Amino acid sequence: MGYKEIEIKVRAAANEDEIKSLVGRTAGVAKFTYNIIKKSLDARKKSDIQWLIRVGVTSPDLPKGNKPEVLTLHPEKQKRTPGKSGHKVIIVGTGPAGIFAADYLSLRGFDVTVLERGSPVENRKAALDNFEKTGTFDSKNNYSFGEGGAGTFSDGKLSSRTKNINAERNYIFQRFVETGGPEEIFYMTHPHLGSDKLFTMTKNMRKLLQDQGVKFLYETPATDLVVKNDRVTGVVTPGGILEADQVIFATGHSAFETFRMLIKNGLDFQPKNFALGFRAEHSQQIINKAQWGVPTIPGVKAAEYRLTSQTEGGIGVYSFCMCPGGMVVPAAAYGDTNIVNGMSNYSRSSPFANAAVVAGVNIQQLLGKDVNALETLHWLESLEQSFQQTPGSYKAPAMTIKDFLAGKSGSKLPASSYPLGLNPSDLGSMLPAALVKPLQEGLKDFCNKIRGYEEGILLGLESKTSAPIQVQRHPEKLWSKYENLYIAGEGSGWSGGIVSSASDGMRIAQILE
C-alpha cells in the first residue's frame, strides 16, 4: 500500500463525487482512499473562486509510503490512593481551560470536582433567551458566565497563534468531534463550531466527563481560599469549604470579583495590554460582495475579513472575532455594566456580519500614570458601567460608521441583529478620548480596504478581547503564589480563545503530580 499527498483545485460548489474523481485523476490511480489535510478558499480572483485542497491518497497502485502519524496526547492512568497528597483536585470554571484540565486529570486518575458559578447549559440557554426577550439580567447565567464559559455562545473559532501545541490541538479537536463537532475542523484553514453545535457539545462533554468520574457542582462560586502552611487546603463556597490537594482557577477574563479575591490572597497580578472599541455590524451581502464580487457563492457559507491598521500615533487598530452570518449579543457579565460581543451558528446564515473593531490599550500610557491590577479592574469596570448608565438599560449605544468618522451623531440607524434594541449615541464622547482618533484612522483604512464598509454601524462597548491583567506564574511549573494553586486559561492573562485556553488547562493537567 502506498501513500502520497497531492493538491487540487475545485469549484466552490463541488460535491464529494467531483472531488473524489479529481483526486483519482490527479494521483493517477483507480483504487484509493483519501483524506483531506487542508482546505482553504482562494478568492484572489473573484471571477474564479475555488477551494484549494491538500489531500492524502492511499492506494495499492502508489509507490510505498507511510501516512504521517498524527501527533496527539495519550494520558496514562495512574493508580492514586484517596487521601494521599495530590489526589483531590478542585477546578473552578467550566470553560475550555477548566473542562480540558478536568478531562485530562480524570483520565490520569485524579479525583476531580468542577465548580461552576452558573447553571447547566440548558438552564443557561433558557436564561439567555429570557434576557433577550425581557431585558431581565441573570447574574449567574449570561453570555459571560454559566456552563461552558463565554465561548459557548460565540462563533466557536478554533484558530490559535499559540506555538508548540500541535499535540494538544489534535487531542482537543478529537474530543470536539467525539462530542458532536464537525470533522472538518481538522482540515479547514479557519475552523469554527458555531453556538448551536457548542450548546450540544457542552452537554455531551459534561456526560463524557461524568462517566470518567468527574463531579460537577453548579451554582457554586468560589468565594475565598483556605491557606495553611503556604498551601491552599480548601476553597470556600456559599455551601461551605471544599478540601483540595490541588486547585485550578479557570474562570475566564470577566470574573472581576474572583481576580480581587485572588489578589487579596497574595497572588501577583499585573496590568497587561488589552483592547477597547466597539462591534461593527454590516449586511452580510456587503461583505460578500466586497470579498467575492457576488452576493453569495454556492458551497460557501459567508465571507469573512481580518483587518489591521497602524495609525500615525502608533496605536494599532484591528478587527477581532469576526462573526460572519452572525449576530451582536448583550454580553454583560454584571448587571450594572453593558458590553457587546458577537456570535454565530454553524451555518452562518444570518443576514448580518459583525466584528470587534478595537484599538490596543496600554493602561499606563492611556492614563499617564502607573496603575496596579486592582486599579486597572476598577477603571475598566467603571467604563463598562458608563455604557449601561447612558441608555439606562441594556440597549446598545450605537451610531453609524459615517457619523463616527465625521465626528458627529444623529443619523438614522439601520436594522441590527442586536436583540435588545439600539440607543442612538455619540460613541466618540463615551470612549476614552485618546482612542477616538486612532479608531477613526483605523476605520478610514478599513473603508478603503473593504468596499461598502462605511455603510455599517458601531455598537459599544467591546471590552473583552482579552484579560486586562496577567498573573505571575512559575515559568515551568505554572503555579501562582502557592505551589498547588494554578490560574489557567484566559483569566490567567496567558492565553486567549478556545484552543489556546484549552491547551493551557491541559498543560497544567500534565504538570500536576
**SS3 of 99, please?**
helix
- pLDDT for residue 82: 59
User: Is 228 within the bounds of a domain?
Assistant: yes
Contact 442, 309 (CB under 8 A): yes
287 and 215 both lie in a single domain = no
Report the DSSP pairing between strands 422-424 and 396-400: parallel
CB 442 within 8 A of CB 359: yes
Which pLDDT value is given to residue 85?
54
If asked whether residues 265 and 277 sit together in one domain, one would say: no
Q: Which residues of 159-195 are buried (b: 16+ CB within 10 A; e: fewer)?
A: ebebeebeebbebbbbbbeebbbeeebbbbeebbbbb
- State how far the Cα of 474 lies from the Cα of 483, in Å rounded to an integer: 9
DSSP code of 192? B
Quote the Cα angle for 238-251-108, to 5°: 95
Q: Parallel, antiparallel, or unpaired for β 224-228 and 231-237?
A: antiparallel
Residues 36 and 22 sit within 8 Å (Cβ to Cβ): no
d(CA 235, CA 91): 10
Beta bridge partners, 360, equal: 275
Q: Tell me how far CA of residue 318 lies from CA of 142, 153, 280, 404, in angstroms.
A: 27, 22, 11, 16
Question: What are the grid coordinates assigned to 490, written together?
Answer: 484566559
CA distance 424 to 208: 46
pLDDT along the chain (513 residues), means of 10: 95 92 96 96 92 96 88 82 73 98 96 98 97 96 97 94 91 97 97 97 98 97 98 97 98 97 98 98 98 94 96 94 98 96 98 98 97 98 95 94 96 96 96 97 97 98 96 97 98 96 97 90
294's CB contacts (< 8 A; 6+ apart) are 46, 288
- Whole-model pTM: value is 0.95
- How many Å separate Cα 302 from the centre of its chain? 19
Whether residues 496 and 408 fall in one domain: no
As to burial, measured by CB atoms within 10 angstroms (0-12 exposed, 13-18 middle, 19+ buried), residue 34 is buried
> 51 lies in which domain range?
2-59
**With contact defined as beta carbons under 8 Å apart, do 219 and 118 qualify?**
yes
Residue 47: its pLDDT value, please?
A: 87
Q: Are the beta carbons of 128 and 152 closer than 8 angstroms?
A: no
Model pLDDT, residue 66 = 84
Question: Could you tell me if residue 28 is inside a domain?
Answer: yes
Does 371 lie in the same domain as 439? yes
- Residue 420, domain member (yes or no): yes
Specify whether 311 is located in the same domain as 444.
yes
Longest dimension (CA), the chain: 71
Residue 66, in any domain of the structure:
no
**Sheet architecture: strand order including 231-237:** 224-228, 231-237, 240-243
Task: Check whether residue 170 and residue 199 sit in a common domain.
Answer: yes
Same domain, 239 and 309: no
- Residue 38 pLDDT: 97
C-alpha cell at 103: 478531562
Please provide residue 321's backbone torsions phi and psi, each rounded to the nearest 5 degrees: 55, 55
Cis upstream peptide for 422 (omega within 30°): no
Please check whether residues 354 and 484 belong to one and the same domain.
Answer: no
Residue 469's DSSP bridge partners are 271
Residues 280 and 409 placed together within one structural domain of the fold: yes
Residues 192, 126 share a domain: yes
Both 99 and 156 in one domain: the answer is yes
Place of cell 502552611: 229
Note the Cα 143 to chain centre separation in Å: 12
CATH code assigned at 214: 3.50.50.60
Is 399:424 a contact under the CB 8 Å cutoff?
Answer: yes
pLDDT reported for residue 504: 97
